[in-house]
Structure 1
């Protein structure tokens, strides 16, 4: 590998595919704008087997690290795995994707994680994708306008690299200490624990096993896909990727929260970029 060749890495956790789109488009934009000495690579850590090997990089890497926002923060089920990561002096671009409510402290948290793992953060962004709880909240996003924003952000990062301006601190929105995880309320107005809620399976099911294959926790029983052998993180993968709409939620408090999200967050949010 030549001394000036850079690896532009899109690295992502993306159960429904929206974070993957943003991370890959951003890394590809950086790669394209840097020119022939840049090489694009993409790596998922969405599925359990993909998290068996640590994320390790070096000084010739630029890493776009993308995660969805869960309850206003980096998904807590990823924290242990991200703690095994080693930046090795790589340049880093933390990216979070949220469902048009708010990204709260997720971006500053991901930035702190990367800096604590020996990355030099040179930019950061919060983008919008279809909400994991809904098919209508931020429906179809990231859309064409979002992609234009992602590509433009990649061009700005590339220009920053070309002029060698990589040592200044990147300030992002967020609170320290981080705010607690966002907690919805039940029909009686009390805080409600969503962790035990799991999707149900209706008679449409053809036992195709797609839900088994896409579950990021490996929690759906292959012998009986209506059963769970582990936790459910409400990522929406099994619901949205089922070809016959066999997976659904019927918990009254889940549905209350879903409708509140849809009713209270109709106004389009736009990406927020920091560089």
Structure 2
């Protein structure tokens, strides 16, 4: 039976939850799974595991600025060319627009020789709205969303079983993931995390408040913060704001004035249905 490898980056935890829902369903069906959270890899605490022969690779990323995180795309690009392995890209998105993240991940995996067995975009609570009582995607992914991941897991497993039995197995191509309107694709083409970082204020700690505990350094999912006086981010920061959420001294402040209203306007302009969707 085909083994499965889940590889993901999950700054706020939603992508991890989605990955575990699929992995647990595969485990229930008798498949072996291994889990790689990219955060320890990016913090240089662990090596990136090599894909195993015949392994089905599940790659997960949150959507940032209409795209998958650069760190996830870099990991795909660094994969050894596939010898016929299969892959399942999946993204979590916070209710504004899922952009072209899935399309780009699928195309990148195909360039490495992977066959796409399925894909998913999972609705999640917007990570930048943690300080609001009613954020976009509040309470998501919920059980209905996670059941969609279980459905995907069952379908992918059956396709792989059929392929091993010499039967004609279903699959999709990256063009299946080209679901956005032309307007949204043009918007995504003009958007980037780097552009957002140029517009945003850096997540600097207030030296008068910072106690030097180092929690923000330890919790950064990409290892972007350095222990200084006070701690500060480097160029790999992804603006996830995990440091601001965790700081016990509230030394890292984020200007959220009017933020929710702007994001709701952006979501309305995008027009994407705020639901989880599986592609098979």
TM-score by length of 1: 0.79
Cα distance, 1:54–1:183 mapped onto 2, change above 3 Å = closer
Alignment of 1:106-117 (within 5 A): 106-117=101-112
For 2:205 and 2:237, the matched residues in 1 are separated by 14
For 1:158 and 1:218, the matched residues in 2 are separated by 34
1:42 equivalent to 2:35? Answer yes
Secondary structure of 1:133's counterpart equals helix
Cα distance, 1:262–1:8 mapped onto 2, change above 3 Å = same
More helix by share: 2
**Stretch moving more, 51-60 or 118-127:** 51-60
Match of 1:10 in 2: 6
Match of 2:169 in 1: 166
**Stretch moving more, 105-114 or 57-66:** 57-66
1:93 equivalent to 2:84? Answer no
Cα distance, 1:125–1:140 mapped onto 2, change above 3 Å = same
Shift of 1:230: 3.6
Match of 2:254 in 1: 249
Number of paired residues?
Answer: 258
User: Do the aligned partners of 1:219 and 1:228 also contact (CA within 8 Å) in 2?
Assistant: yes
Match of 1:73 in 2: 67
**Stretch moving more, 115-124 or 44-53:** 44-53
1:134 equivalent to 2:136? Answer no
Offset from partner CA, 1:114-139 (integer Å, 9 cap, x none): 11112111000001222122122223
User: Do the aligned partners of 2:61 and 2:68 also contact (CA within 8 Å) in 1?
Assistant: yes
Secondary structure of 1:150's counterpart equals helix
Secondary structure of 2:139's counterpart equals coil
Secondary structure of 1:26's counterpart equals helix
User: Do the aligned partners of 1:129 and 1:142 also contact (CA within 8 Å) in 2?
Assistant: yes
User: Do the aligned partners of 1:15 and 1:214 also contact (CA within 8 Å) in 2?
Assistant: no
User: Do the aligned partners of 2:148 and 2:278 also contact (CA within 8 Å) in 1?
Assistant: no
- Of 3, 17, 20, 1:21 maps to 17
TM-score by length of 2: 0.78
Cα distance, 1:9–1:225 mapped onto 2, change above 3 Å = farther
User: Do the aligned partners of 1:18 and 1:129 also contact (CA within 8 Å) in 2?
Assistant: yes
For 1:120 and 1:31, the matched residues in 2 are separated by 22
Secondary structure of 1:11's counterpart equals strand
Shift of 1:161: 2.8
Shift of 1:102: 1.2
For 1:112 and 1:152, the matched residues in 2 are separated by 23
- Of 106, 115, 124, 1:120 maps to 115
Shift of 1:95: 0.4
Shift of 1:237: 1.9
Q: Which runs of 5+ in 1 are unaligned?
A: 185-191
- Of 251, 261, 264, 2:263 maps to 261
Secondary structure of 2:68's counterpart equals coil
Cα distance, 1:222–1:104 mapped onto 2, change above 3 Å = same
**Stretch moving more, 22-31 or 104-113:** 22-31
Match of 1:180 in 2: 189
Offset from partner CA, 1:13-35 (integer Å, 9 cap, x none): 111211111122212222322x2
Shift of 1:222: 1.3
Shift of 1:234: 0.8
For 2:192 and 2:110, the matched residues in 1 are separated by 28
